[in-house]
Amino acid sequence: MCRQLEHLKKERQRSSSSASSMSSSSKLHNRGSNGGMEDCCANQNCDQESYECLAMHVCPDLGERIMLSGDRCLVEEVFPETNQALVDARSSVSWNQHDAAHVIRFPLNGYCKLNSVQAITRLLNAGFRIAASSGGGVEGQQFSEYLFVRKVLSVT
């Protein structure tokens, strides 16, 4: 999964370097069509694509355990029944300890009655796609991990 993320980073850097090397005549053309916004942002890479990511960890312990990591707002958007648990500001719970904007290994099926197929279906219906997956383990301790990404639509 880390290799996939590094690959995405490299592709993004390559596309931004090719976008920044466009000629001055095309900059003038973009300025006229977008009111000058693209010209002032060319050095800051404002027109760069951005993605939203969620990671899902599934292991068959005691039935099936599903854990999500990612932006708290994304989890609330796709799984609204978890809102109360995510709002819980207790710092002692493991998924809240590091960052207020993100959750780490949030136990999804502890708060809603979904299996892994239903959770994956919800993410796919919300516009995410599976960018990477991996699995492993030993006898009795298998796991699967999925990285879901969705392109953010830029508002211009």
In the prediction, which pLDDT does 5 show?
63
The values of phi and psi at residue 79, to 5°, are -125, 75
**Two tokens, residue 59:** 């292991």
Mean pLDDT value across the chain? 75
Residue 54's nearest CA partner among 105, 97, 3, 121 is 105
Q: What is the mean pLDDT of residues 91-103?
A: 65
| Local confidence band at 96 (pLDDT 50, 70, 90 cut-offs) | low
* Percent of the chain whose predicted confidence (pLDDT) is above 70: 62
| Local confidence band at 31 (pLDDT 50, 70, 90 cut-offs) | very low
Contact predicate 148/54, CB 8 Å: yes
Residue carrying structure tokens 């009111």? 35
Going through the chain in order, the beta strands assigned E by DSSP cover 51-59, 65-71, 102-107, 129-136, 143-151
Nearest-angstrom CA–CA distance, 55 and 150: 12
Residue 27 has pLDDT above 80, yes or no: no
Q: What is the mean pLDDT of residues 91-118?
A: 78
Q: How far is CA 108 from CA 15, 68, 111, in A?
A: 36, 7, 6
Residue 70's nearest CA partner among 151, 154, 147 is 147
Residue carrying structure tokens 């355990």? 65
Residue 46's nearest CA partner among 59, 32, 28, 34 is 34
- What single letter denotes the amino acid at residue 109? N
